[in-house]
């Protein structure tokens, strides 16, 4: 009798896990491959004419701005580098025949910059907000080795910037009953990540912030997406030993091209097909195993970075 009950429980557990895995892989195919077989969504009609991208002059932010411009959206570019902003603004306007505006802002300067941003955006119908701006450690470090200035930058840029930018543009979206917010988190938010403690925690904040916003505002016509990339070939992440595998570590351009296709479809996604496979493994992985693997990888990255400084 006991053996029969245990066998039944085992069969139920196996069937449940199998169905979950099958559903997860079906979702991966539906999200990353099926949309490429149909025509692209009209983002202007769906959300509005203007998009705002923070951290827009490098990496994912720049590539995302280019993708949005290629779809006809007018772009407000925000970054602290005025020269790069002017250059990108001119390129987008000439290449895609769209309107562009720039806002020079250093999000690490704290609360004072948001009055300037609010005034610059107040007369625009913002349809899409992409919160991309972020700071990373110079290399993986134990928490007490991270400078106090860097910790404040992580708080001001990775946490406060997205929160305040949403607070600025969301009321207009609600009044128009449409809009999209993309908060770019990180694969390190999946589980506690040693040697990236403050950074991964800040990205976990963005993930939870996005998911809660979606519950609050979906009924008002607002789509909020938590975008969770793993390694992308940007200057922010130093996993140089992975950069030889372009399918594993895509360029910002390739990543943005894939990620923007998930807008309006998935509320929480990595944005890229292979990253979604990594995310699935992370979801099923015990926390201790994640932490063990992260320590090994981050030790390697730290040693490599320090050796280059000698």
Condensed to tens digits (0 to 9), the pLDDT of residues 169-179 reads 999 999 999 99
CATH of residue 59's domain is 3.40.50.720
Measured CA to CA, the distance from residue 65 to residue 47 in angstroms comes to 15
Which token pair is 201?
A: 């925690």
Residue-wise pLDDT for 195-219, tens only, equals: 999 999 999 999 999 999 999 999 9
The answer to whether position 272 is within a domain reads: yes
Asked if residue 14 has pLDDT above 70, the reply is: no
Residue 18 lies in a domain: no
Give the confidence band of 235 by pLDDT, cuts at 50, 70, 90.
Answer: low
Q: What percent of the chain has pLDDT over 70?
A: 83
Catalytic residue flag (residue 199): yes
Bridge partners (DSSP) of residue 103 are: 78
Amino acid 305: pLDDT: 86
Q: Are 178 and 127 in contact (CB under 8 A)?
A: yes
Give the count of domains, the chain: 1
pLDDT in the model for residue 18: 58
Residue 21 in domain: no
Q: Is the pLDDT of residue 247 over 90?
A: no
Q: Are 172 and 216 in contact (CB under 8 A)?
A: no
Give the pLDDT score at 121.
97
Mean pLDDT of 110-126: 94
Q: What is the pLDDT of residues 263-293, one digit of tens each?
A: 999 999 999 999 998 999 998 899 999 999 9
Instruction: Please list, in sequence order, all residues whose beta carbon lies within 8 angstroms of the beta carbon of residue 40, skipping any fewer than 6 positions away.
Output: 71, 261
Q: What is the pLDDT at residue 244?
A: 54
Mean pLDDT, range 111-136, rounded to an integer: 95
pTM of the model: 0.87
Token pair, residue 172, equals 């207009």
224: closest CA among 272, 160, 278, 162? 162
> From its phi and psi, is residue 195 left (phi > 0), alpha (psi between -120 and 50) or beta?
left
The arithmetic mean of pLDDT across residues 53-66, rounded, is: 97
What is the domain range of residue 59?
41-309
Mean pLDDT of 25-30: 58
| pLDDT value at residue 309 | 73
pLDDT tens for 224-234 read 999 999 999 87
**Active-site option among 47, 64, 199, 205:** 199
Region 180-206: what's the mean pLDDT? Answer: 96
DSSP 58-117: SHHHHHHHHHHHHTT-EEEEEES-HHHHHHHHHHHHHHH---EEEEE--GGGGGGHHHHH
Higher pLDDT, 129 or 303: 129
């Amino acid at each position: 009798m006991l053996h029969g009950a245990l066998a039944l429980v085992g069969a139920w557990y196996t069937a449940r896990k199998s169905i979950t895995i099958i559903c997860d892989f079906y979702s991966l195919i539906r999200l990353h491959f099926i949309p490429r077989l149909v025509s692209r969504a009209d983002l202007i009609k769906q959300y509005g004419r203007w998009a705002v991208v923070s951290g827009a002059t490098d990496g994912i932010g720049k590539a995302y701005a280019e993708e949005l411009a290629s779809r006809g959206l007018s772009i407000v570019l925000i970054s602290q580098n005025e020269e790069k902003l002017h250059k990108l603004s001119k390129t987008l306007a000439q290449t895609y025949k769209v309107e562009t505006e720039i806002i020079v802002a250093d999000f690490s300067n704290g609360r004072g910059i948001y009055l300037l941003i609010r005034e610059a955006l107040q007369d625009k119908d913002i349809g899409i907000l992409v919160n991309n701006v972020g700071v990373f450690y110079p290399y993986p470090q134990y928490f007490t080795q991270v400078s106090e200035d860097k910790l404040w930058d992580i708080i001001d840029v990775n946490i406060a910037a997205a929160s305040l930018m949403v607070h600025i543009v969301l009321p207009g979206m609600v009044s128009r009953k449409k809009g999209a917010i993309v908060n770019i988190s990180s694969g390190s938010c999946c589980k506690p990540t040693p040697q990236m403690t403050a950074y991964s925690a800040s990205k976990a904040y963005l993930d939870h912030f996005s998911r809660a916003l979606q519950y609050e505002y979906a009924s008002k016509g607002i789509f909020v997406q938590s975008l969770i990339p793993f390694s992308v070939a940007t200057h922010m992440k130093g996993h140089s030993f992975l950069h030889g595998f372009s399918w594993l570590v895509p360029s910002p351009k390739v990543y943005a091209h894939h990620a923007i296709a998930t807008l309006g479809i998935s509320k929480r996604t990595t944005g890229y097909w292979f990253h979604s496979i990594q995310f699935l493994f992370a979801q099923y992985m015990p926390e201790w195993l994640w932490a063990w693997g992260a320590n090994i990888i981050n030790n390697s990255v730290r040693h490599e970075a320090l050796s280059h400084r000698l």
